[in-house]
A and B are shown apart, each in its own frame.
Chain A
Amino acid sequence: MIRWFKVVVFLGCLGPLARLLWRFFGAHPTDMQTWGAGLGANPIEFITHSTGDWTLIFLLATLSITPLRKLTRQPWLIRYRRMLGLFAFFYATLHFLTYIWLDKFFDLHEMLADVAKRKFITAGFTGFVLLIPLALTSTRGWIARLGGKRWQALHRLIYVSAIAGVVHYIWLVKSDLHKPLEYAFVLGVLLAYRVIVWAAPKFRAKKEPSLPVRGVKTSEG
């Protein structure tokens, strides 16, 4: 059952790519003249925006697994976290390839200038690069090799990567911040959850030092 459901989720995650290809090839896939027309007047921009959007969506989906699993007490959700994370990396790779191939056409000089000069490129590139070690160490073998604690620490890089991704979006829009701020809001909520989970026990421990005393009394009574 779970095995089957995983296949369904996997195929669903390929949906955005399928949609892109479907629109690219259009109603007449054998007629090369019509290719790209389904993506509008600026197909390369369309591909760039679409893969960028889906990278962020998958990053946020990955980050929502833990809160969802804990709040709804559905531990099985954890089985989907790696898949979603790898799809975030998959779409990020497509996004990056669109940039170096279709936009910059492998002009290394221009790309380096971009990374150095353009804040939004620097942020996006950082976000992408940080995902690489996470994708590489996503296997069971690597978890064992690194040990759970160290593996977990390494994989907290996804927080930095997601922040870099959202900042990348905020920095590149001309004036309408609606969409990037929607992503920023969701990311903010997901990160706030973690801060609360991390801080709450410490906060309680400090605030209620009398707790053990009371405990002693009860045990006596």
Chain B
Amino acid sequence: MLIKKPSDIPSSEITPKSLYLNRRKFLAGTALAGAAAMTGVGGLAFPPAARADGGGLTKINGIQKSPFSTTEAITPYKDVTTYNNYYEFSTDKDGPSQLATHFRTRPWTVTIDGLVAKKQVLDVDSIIKMAAPEERIYRHRCVEGWSIVVPWVGFSLSELIKRAQPLGKAQFVEFTTVYDLTQMPGQRESVLQWPYTEGLRMDEAMHPLALLCFGMYGEVLPNQDGAPLRMVVPWKYGFKSAKALVRIKFVEHQPATAWNTQTPREYGFYSNVNPQVDHPRWSQAKERRLGEFFKRPTLMFNGYDQVASLYSGMDLKKNY
């Protein structure tokens, strides 16, 4: 299998610095936007805040840099922690940050089972120590049409898979989020089938970009962002990255996944970011990067071209 070097951002995506505005210069942006419309100047953006700070949570030591990281401006911590899709808590974007405050992330165990040589129940802290933590600054694109850039902390899921020793028959990996009615009020609503499940094909799960994540902005994950352990699959829409994992199961057949079960016509199993395949109800050609005034074009595989070989020969319009 050919795995290309992680690509840098295409130059077309880089906004000339002279066009940057200050991040929240909203009206000024609006006025300029009018001018831009008349003069045909595009690519105006709110200016990337400097290296975003964390939220004062426990720092993670010994984080290594990763060649997979983008150099794009990191989304402010406040936005990433107050604008969340986490239906286990609430369907409002600002709900999870309020309702997850007292969510208990310790003690926490993760069951590794299914088609593996050694079924086991692992303490989350022993999983975190399996490999050296890396910072992966990834683009993250929601199926709703917005995106963020987040400095996640974790290591490739393949590190865990190798240690779990899946059997030859294992073709897929199924992820399960915790089900806890006492702590997650959103699970009382039947907006999705609980517990939340997600899945990846084995070769997708083994791809080095697929991140087993336990931190962001140099600190442990805040509860509303999926603490204590979550997946981050940067070339797929955000909902493919299951949060608060309690089970990683190796299976022979494609597992049922939450959104695909809810509305199969709208949310496919693969759900790769793809500007050419619209959601049946809205376009996926563009996205709004939080903090920017204009929408930007959405990139195939969210700009992670190195995964293209995983899908060679597949009709991605059918396998959306």
* Residues B79 and A24 in contact, CB atoms below 8 Å apart: no
* Residues A41 and B281 in contact, CB atoms below 8 Å apart: no
Specify which of B78, B94, B281 is in contact with A118 (CB 8 Å cutoff): B281
* Residues A32 and B93 in contact, CB atoms below 8 Å apart: no
Tell me, yes or no, whether B25 is within 8 Å of chain A by CB: yes
Which of B37, B79, B191, B281 has the most C-beta atoms of chain A within 10 angstroms of its own C-beta? B281
Interface of chain A residues 5 through 61 with chain B (CB within 8 A): 24, 32-37, 40-45
* Residues A24 and B26 in contact, CB atoms below 8 Å apart: yes
Given A105-B37, A175-B192, A176-B191, verify A43-B26 contact (CB < 8 Å): yes
Interface of chain A residues 100 through 141 with chain B (CB within 8 A): 102-103, 105-106, 110, 113-114, 117-120
Given A37-B24, A118-B281, verify A42-B290 contact (CB < 8 Å): yes
Chain B 29-61, CB within 8 Å of chain A: the 1/0 string?
Answer: 010010001000000000000000000000000
Tell me, yes or no, whether A96 is within 8 Å of chain B by CB: no
- Residues of A with C-beta under 8 A to B294: 105
Given A33-B22, A106-B37, verify A41-B288 contact (CB < 8 Å): no
Chain B residue at minimal CB-CB distance from A119: B281
* Residues B282 and A118 in contact, CB atoms below 8 Å apart: yes
* Residues B290 and A41 in contact, CB atoms below 8 Å apart: yes
Chain B residue at minimal CB-CB distance from A32: B25
Tell me, yes or no, whether B189 is within 8 Å of chain A by CB: yes
A117 vs chain B, min Cβ distance (A): 8
* Residues A35 and B191 in contact, CB atoms below 8 Å apart: no
Tell me, yes or no, whether B83 is within 8 Å of chain A by CB: yes
Specify which of A35, A103, A110, A120 is in contact with B281 (CB 8 Å cutoff): A120
* Residues B25 and A175 in contact, CB atoms below 8 Å apart: no
- Residues of B with C-beta under 8 A to A117: 278, 283
Tell me, yes or no, whether B23 is within 8 Å of chain A by CB: yes
Given A35-B25, A44-B288, verify A172-B281 contact (CB < 8 Å): yes
- The interface on chain A, measured as residues whose beta carbon lies within 8 A of the other chain's beta carbons, has a size of 30
- Residues of B with C-beta under 8 A to A172: 281-282
Alpha-carbon gap, A53 to B282, bound state (A):
20
- Residues of A with C-beta under 8 A to B91: 175-176, 178
Tell me, yes or no, whether A174 is within 8 Å of chain B by CB: yes
Given A33-B22, A41-B290, A105-B294, verify A171-B281 contact (CB < 8 Å): yes
- Residues of A with C-beta under 8 A to B144: 174
Chain A residue at minimal CB-CB distance from B22: A33
14 A-B pairs within 8 Å (CB atoms) are namely A32-B24, A32-B27, A35-B28, A36-B26, A41-B78, A42-B93, A45-B146, A45-B288, A113-B283, A114-B283, A175-B87, A176-B91, A176-B191, A178-B91
| Nearest 4 A/B pairs, CB to CB | A36-B26, A41-B83, A41-B79, A176-B91
Which residues on B are within 8 Å of A, measured CB to CB?
A: 22-28, 30, 33, 37, 78-80, 82-83, 87, 91, 93-94, 144, 146, 189, 191-192, 262-263, 278, 281-283, 288, 290-291, 294-295
Beyond A32-B24, A33-B25, A44-B288, list 5 extra A-B contacts (CB 8 Å). Answer: A33-B24, A34-B24, A41-B291, A105-B37, A120-B281
